[in-house]
Chains A and B, each alone.
Chain A
Amino acid sequence: MSPFFKYTARLPEHAPDAPALEARALAVAHPGARRPALSGLAFSVPQGCRAALIGANGSGKSTLLKTLAGLMPAASGEALVLGGPARPGRPELAYLAQRAAIEWHFPVSVEKLVLAGRFPDCGWFRRPSSADRDMAREALARLRLEDLAERPVHALSGGQQQRVLLARALCQDARVLLLDEPYTGLDAASRDIMESILFGDGSDALTVLMATHEPQEATARFDLILAARDGRLETLHACTCKRPR
């Protein structure tokens, strides 16, 4: 595809072994705040690793995720995604905000919302192709939403809406997933379906960084725990996972 239509200029090819996420002397600040919420961050999340980000409300978890997603500038230091700078317009990274950030009463169908996952590859002026539509349907099927494809998004339950957002991230073909409290207010069924995508078979190629405030649950399933406390980030246990094939 012509780079002319791209939303942002293409990055140079990154090193294949680069960590999925990396922070170098990184500080992140809440919007408008003078002092950083978290500073002196130095961590690395290898590809294929499941990492949890724990900490109290207001400890800077969401701000860190937004900075890694390239939605907010770093206060200082560097945030890297797959060896390249964290910034918008990188199809290989998906970010699931907390539910409140989306206007659910907008007249858009489930399938159309998921299809937006193809936009980073389409760029300006291009409509999604039939191959893109197939990818959207496949993502819907993986999250068991295929029967709801034609529904308006406001007619879904909270759990279904959260699954729709994960379907969009899959449709984007992202390799790195940043999730901000994805289980908040979720019913058990939706949670099981989401966990099977994030932790189940065939998820080896995914790198996950999930903000959560359920520390007990966090320790069990994750390879790496990052704990935000008093403006610092501690690595509680390091990742031993290997990069997937």
Chain B
Amino acid sequence: MLELLTEPLLGEHNDFMRRAFLGVALAGVNCAALGAYVVLRRMASLSGALSHTILPGVVFAVLSGFSIYWGAMGAAVVTALAVGGIVSRRHIREDTATGVILSFMFALGILLMHRAQSFRDFAALLFGNVLALSSQDLAVIAGVTATTLTFLALFHKELELASYDEDYAALCGARPALLRHLLLVLVALGAVASVRLVGSLLTTALLVTPAAAGVMLARSVIGVMAWGAGIAVFSGIAGLYLSYHLDGVPSGAAIVLVCSACFFTAWSFRALADRRRPRPFDED
């Protein structure tokens, strides 16, 4: 029984598994910490769009012969800034701006892909392959995670305030619009960093689901981040074990399925707790 747990981790030829474990743990912490703001600020659809719109960047990178990471990052940052820019300058809601930019970028990707006349190179990015994680991939994930956590720690009080009261943050002079842009760029980087793990189509799951479960269980932003990180890391590792031991279970899907199961558990727990003890509400 114990061997089931130790074998993937300690096996002689299992370097790829050790890299995968480290990768999902780092990306899990990164996505859950950012995800707290993604969920609490209702940016879930935007983060979904970000993970999809990296397509043209990746295709462009392959066509021009530079690293797909730079291509993906470029496209994601362009999306984040375009959506942020449209929302801040005109009276258009974020979901509308997201819809416009998402379809624009996806069409651009299809156009480029058509010119490349090959879908082969892009499969790993659409569906992910955590078991093929290279040291370079791992370095990218670690770098992005360190950047994100530093930013969230340095600007914690301003980010938190701007998330529930943007007007007051502006009144203080705490630049909420700038913070929102930076947050979007970090979400874009987070999406790019986790593309290798679960693929661009499922990256949203890592950004949204663990934090959404955290919201059910915690009473503060830090609490949401902590619960989210715990759930994301657990799901990543459990998903890897499942796909290692079971035939025909792709790792990306296994990770996201465990993550979703955690969310439904947290949701049920909250529903039961609320039924037993309704949330306090005093009229005086």
Chain A residues in contact with chain B, CB under 8 A?
Answer: 6-8, 31-32, 69-71, 88-90, 93-95, 97, 101-104, 106-109, 112-113, 116, 119-120, 122, 124-125, 127-128, 148, 151-157, 159-160, 168, 187, 189-190
With A31-B91, A120-B172 given, is the CB distance from A103 to B284 under 8 Å? Answer: no
Stretch with Cβ within 8 A of A (4 or more), from B26-34, B52-60, B158-166, B197-205: B158-166
Chain B residues in contact with chain A, CB under 8 A?
Answer: 40, 90-91, 154-155, 157-158, 160-161, 163-168, 170-175, 215, 218-221, 223-224, 279-284
Closest 8 CB pairs of A and B: A89-B173, A7-B173, A106-B164, A8-B173, A88-B173, A103-B164, A120-B172, A155-B280
With A7-B174, A88-B173, A155-B279 given, is the CB distance from A108 to B160 under 8 Å? Answer: yes
A-B contact pairs, 10 of them (CB 8 A): A69-B171, A101-B165, A104-B164, A107-B215, A107-B223, A113-B164, A119-B172, A120-B172, A152-B219, A156-B282
A-B contact count (CB 8 A): 101
For A160, give the chain B residue with the smallest CB separation.
B284
Is the Cβ of B281 less than 8 Å from the Cβ of A155?
yes
Is the Cβ of B282 less than 8 Å from the Cβ of A157?
yes
Distance in angstroms between the alpha carbons of A152 and B155 in the assembled complex? 22
Distance in angstroms between the alpha carbons of A189 and B163 in the assembled complex? 30
User: Among A89, A107, A156, which residue has its beta carbon within 8 angstroms of that of B218?
Assistant: A107
User: Among A7, A103, A113, which residue has its beta carbon within 8 angstroms of that of B172?
Assistant: A7
> Which residue of A94, A116, A152 has the most chain B CB atoms within 10 A of its CB atom?
A116
CB of A88 to closest CB in B, whole Å = 4
CB of A230 to closest CB in B, whole Å = 25
CB of A65 to closest CB in B, whole Å = 11
For A89, give the chain B residue with the smallest CB separation.
B173
With A88-B172, A155-B280 given, is the CB distance from A97 to B164 under 8 Å? Answer: no
Chain B residues lying within 8 Å of A112, measured Cβ to Cβ, are 220
Is the Cβ of A88 less than 8 Å from the Cβ of B282?
no
Is the Cβ of B167 less than 8 Å from the Cβ of A101?
yes
Is the Cβ of A151 less than 8 Å from the Cβ of B224?
no
Is the Cβ of A32 less than 8 Å from the Cβ of B91?
yes
Distance in angstroms between the alpha carbons of A46 and B175 in the assembled complex? 30
Chain A residues lying within 8 Å of B165, measured Cβ to Cβ, are 101-103, 113, 116
Is the Cβ of A119 less than 8 Å from the Cβ of B161?
yes
Is the Cβ of B158 less than 8 Å from the Cβ of A151?
no
Chain A residues lying within 8 Å of B172, measured Cβ to Cβ, are 7, 88-89, 116, 119-120
Is the Cβ of A125 less than 8 Å from the Cβ of B154?
yes
Is the Cβ of B90 less than 8 Å from the Cβ of A107?
no
Chain A residues lying within 8 Å of B173, measured Cβ to Cβ, are 6-8, 88-90, 120
Chain A residues lying within 8 Å of B279, measured Cβ to Cβ, are 154-155
CB of A178 to closest CB in B, whole Å = 10
For B282, give the chain A residue with the smallest CB separation.
A157
Distance in angstroms between the alpha carbons of A153 and B279 in the assembled complex? 12
Given contacts A108-B221, A124-B155, 16 further A-B contacts (CB under 8 A): A8-B173, A89-B173, A103-B40, A106-B40, A106-B164, A107-B223, A108-B160, A109-B219, A116-B161, A116-B168, A120-B173, A124-B154, A151-B280, A156-B282, A157-B281, A168-B168
